[in-house]
Amino acid sequence: MGFLRKGTKCLICRAQKIDREAILFLPAYRLALCKEHFISWVKKRVYETIKQFSMFSKEDKILTAVSGGKDSLSLWFILNDLGYIADGLYIDLGIDKYSEDSKDLAKNFSERIGRKLYIIEVKNEIGRIPEVSKITNRPICSICGTVKRYLMNKYAKQLGYNIIATGHNLDDEVSFLFNNTLNWDIRYLSRQYPVLTEGKGFVKKVKPLCKITEKESAMFAFFNKIDYIKYECPFSLDSVSIKYKKFFSMLEEEFPSSKIRFYNNFLKNIFEILSKYREEEKLRNCIECGEPSLNEICSFCVLKNKFRKLENELELTKKV
Amino acid sequence: MGFLRKGTKCLICRAQKIDREAILFLPAYRLALCKEHFISWVKKRVYETIKQFSMFSKEDKILTAVSGGKDSLSLWFILNDLGYIADGLYIDLGIDKYSEDSKDLAKNFSERIGRKLYIIEVKNEIGRIPEVSKITNRPICSICGTVKRYLMNKYAKQLGYNIIATGHNLDDEVSFLFNNTLNWDIRYLSRQYPVLTEGKGFVKKVKPLCKITEKESAMFAFFNKIDYIKYECPFSLDSVSIKYKKFFSMLEEEFPSSKIRFYNNFLKNIFEILSKYREEEKLRNCIECGEPSLNEICSFCVLKNKFRKLENELELTKKV
């Protein structure tokens, strides 16, 4: 949020001939707002994003991927507030205190809004993420991504939901986009869209917060007294995506609206051109679990098999 | 340049079984080199760039746009060293001490390499750049660009050169590219190429240093005892392009090779796709000067007319 001069009035109040002080300033939009109008601004922006990309309607059954962080809880809050049918799915990754804390917050929040929260324990599905990473010697963030994508899709289908909504915010999207742009990777650029359509065993996935920055989302959670986990996953701190986010936040400080311009103009000016170069993925059903897969065995089952095998070998070594 | 551990050997010397210490390290290429092999590395890289983009051959007559800075003087040096016919064109912009100093350096250098240097005085063509900017109330960098492009092209033709070579380095190109990418501006992106082909009154323009960073170019100039102007144009210090350069240099520190990857992958993966969306510019001859123009009167003559008119009005006001 930008610097606010004392006495600055809320722009929307002023338009309604009400004299109320602004409490924050959004430099990207040159907008000074009071608490009430900031909250309605965020909700409106999310609603417009849902409409712009035809994400879902009031008839759809939405499963919100809830991590316990500000973005996913704010998203869940907004979806329900806007009158959509949205329950929650919490995936317990087994990252010690981080997972315990965030699970509690997700549970409390589900009670507050009176919506169902499903909890999936990764330890029962494959193993605790840090253990799986250690034993298979694969980067933890990559494993976490594979496992979450797999479980989200599988359980959404099982539980009868036709939409998965994730809390990716503008900073997340800009960081992905920048990474793909640095490499000019057409394969990824041609797929970077806030909606992934359903079909071939995949549930439709949407990102309704894609135009809300991390700061805006944190402020929204704060104003709505949403109790979210205040620290990052301990394994993500050194990630490339967090570094790109910092770079873009510095750029935004110097040139307000850089993030939203970069993202909006990508979607407006070039996504359609690149989408013509998108290669159709040849999907089949994993011979082990039946879920959609690029290969005979899906990446989740490959990981699981590798983990089981190495775990058994380790057990045997211990016994010997 | 990156950190060099004491005792690190030059990689090329080592390959030739010579035991010589490196004096610099290029993190983007993980290359430790001695002075001699750094110099030959730069020359080879420029030569390969010239070949890769079919910029020119030994039969062409090249006019090097010389500003007195490290890039243009290094470029001029390399072109002659590689055996190309390359003379120099210095455009005196009339920016006080900056222009005087850089003109002297360009003259001295032309004597050193025994090549012709043409000097164009902007004050005789239109007026000193800062004055033109002040009186016409147009940003100085934009005026400077218009004037330089116009005069370079006009004099290259008059003097009988068929190639204009400019000293744009990798940092310059990355900064342009990043600016155009932030806006996803297809019009500009589809033209960003190290060669602008000749035709319709335009001389072919090339950027042989497009894969050499600013630091590499400065080091090359230093090692070859090229005396260049050490300070930036006083009007460029606050420019957006300099800020983007700083931003990318920070990124490069954190992720070496970001700059060259961003630029190379753009040319390799996407330029061809975008070039299909390039709109043909409808050019005609300026009715005042006969140079190629998008409109009835070219942008140089429009500027000149405006400046003359305002200058006369100012003279009249003074007299009254």
Of A184, A185, A270, the CB nearest to B184: A270
CA distance B266 to chain A (A): 6
For residue A258, list chain B residues with Cβ-Cβ distance below 8 A. Answer: 182
- State whether A182 and B268 contact (CB < 8 Å): no
For residue B187, list chain A residues with Cβ-Cβ distance below 8 A. Answer: none
- State whether A181 and B262 contact (CB < 8 Å): yes
What's the token pair of residue A286? 């994993």
Across B109-123, average pLDDT:
97
Nearest partner of B236 among B125, B108, B139, judged by Cα: B139
- 3 state SS of A164: strand
Across B224-252, average pLDDT:
91
> What is the residue-level pLDDT of chain A in tens, covering all 320 positions?
666 788 899 999 999 999 999 999 999 999 999 999 999 999 999 999 999 999 999 999 999 999 999 999 999 999 999 999 999 999 999 998 999 999 999 999 999 999 999 999 999 999 999 999 999 999 999 999 999 999 999 999 999 999 999 999 999 999 999 999 999 999 999 999 999 988 889 999 999 999 999 999 999 999 999 999 999 888 887 788 899 999 999 999 999 999 999 999 999 999 999 988 888 888 999 999 999 999 999 999 999 999 999 999 988 888 76
| Average pLDDT in chain B | 94
For residue A243, list chain B residues with Cβ-Cβ distance below 8 A. Answer: 254-255
Nearest partner of B46 among B208, B261, B171, judged by Cα: B208
- State whether B262 and A186 contact (CB < 8 Å): no
- State whether A183 and B270 contact (CB < 8 Å): no
Using the 8-state DSSP alphabet, how is residue B136 labeled? H
Helix spans in chain B (H): 11-15, 35-52, 70-81, 96-113, 122-125, 129-136, 140-159, 170-182, 186-189, 214-223, 240-254, 258-265, 271-275, 299-319
- State whether A183 and B265 contact (CB < 8 Å): yes
Of B183, B250, B261, the CB nearest to A265: B183
Evaluate whether A188 touches A196 at the Cβ level (below 8 Å). no
For residue A255, list chain B residues with Cβ-Cβ distance below 8 A. Answer: 240, 243
CA distance A262 to chain B (A): 5
The single residue listed with the structure tokens 């995506």 is: A241
Of B181, B185, B250, the CB nearest to A181: B181
What's the token pair of residue A73? 């809880």
Amino acid found at B181: T
Of B185, B251, B261, the CB nearest to A183: B261
Interface with chain B: mutation pick from A173, A179, A182, highest number of B CBs within 10 Å: A182
The predicted-structure confidence for B171-190, as pLDDT tens digits, reads as follows: 999 999 999 999 999 999 99
A105 torsion bin: left (phi>0), alpha (psi -120 to 50), beta (else): alpha
- State whether A265 and B186 contact (CB < 8 Å): no
Q: How far apart are CA A64 and CA B15, in angstroms?
A: 58
Task: Give chain A's domains with CATH numbers.
Answer: 1-33 (no CATH), 43-279 (3.40.50.620)
Distances (CA, A) of B151 to B158, B178, B299: 10, 27, 12
ipTM above 0.95, yes or no: no
Of A240, A254, A265, the CB nearest to B184: A265
> What does the pLDDT read at residue B2?
65
Backbone angles phi, psi at B222, to 5 degrees: -60, -50
CA distance A214 to chain B (A): 19
Q: H helices then E strands: how many in chain A?
A: 14, 10
CA distance B44 to chain A (A): 25
CB contacts < 8 A (A, B): 56
Higher pLDDT, B239 or A110: A110
Evaluate whether A170 touches A160 at the Cβ level (below 8 Å). no
Searching chain A, which residue's CA lies closest to the CA of residue B274? A273
Interface with chain A: mutation pick from B257, B270, B271, highest number of A CBs within 10 Å: B270
> What does the pLDDT read at residue B223?
97
- State whether B255 and A270 contact (CB < 8 Å): no
- State whether A182 and B274 contact (CB < 8 Å): no
